[in-house]
Amino acid sequence: MTAVPRRSAPVSMPAMAGLAVESSPERCCPRCDAEVLASLRVPHGWTNTHGVQVRGFRELIVCARCDADDPAAGPIVTFFTVHAEASDANIGQLAVLLGRWVAAAQARRVDEAAVDAEAEAYFRGEL
Ligand SMILES: [Zn+2]
């Protein structure tokens, strides 16, 4: 794996579909400690055992090492391998790649009903 050059300053992308995407040189992947190239905070919530809706965010990241082979995140890794940093000259290209990654991330959202059904089946001893 080719080392990915660090960027000199955080890059904030325009909001896409109401979601903020950031690229920061100061973060490390919690899985492998490699550089985080981009992060996405998406609204996340659930109903707790008291029936109260809990709302928060979950964060998705693009890791220079872990996500190189991912169909949606890999092109972002390649972008930062080729370009030293996001700039006015290439920000449009990066925005397209981030947009595709956001769309893929949204499509991968957890099917909470399926998780609940599987948990109930587990507790019934069916799994
Ligand atoms: Zn990683």
Which residue range is the domain that position 84 belongs to? 11-123
* 57 occurs within a structural domain: yes
Examine residue 3 and state whether it is found in any structural domain, yes or no.
Answer: no
Centre of ligand 1 to C-alpha 36, Å, is 7
- Determine, yes or no, domain membership for 4: no
1 occurs within a structural domain: no
CA of 55 to the centre of ligand 1 (A): 27
- Domain assignment of residue 5, yes or no: no
List, for residues 86-121, the tens digit of each pLDDT value: 888 998 898 899 889 988 887 776 677 777 888 898
40: β partners: 21, 60
Task: Provide the domain count of the chain.
Answer: 1
Instruction: Please indicate, yes or no, if residue 100 is contained in any of the structural domains.
Output: yes
Position with higher pLDDT, 10 vs 40: 40
pLDDT digits (tens, 9 = 90+) for 25-43: 578 899 999 888 888 887 7
CA distance linking residue 46 with residue 44, whole number of Å: 7
In a domain, 84, yes or no: yes
The three-state secondary structure class of 100 is: helix
User: What spacing in Å lies between the alpha carbon of 60 and ligand 1's midpoint?
Assistant: 12
Which residue type occupies 88? D
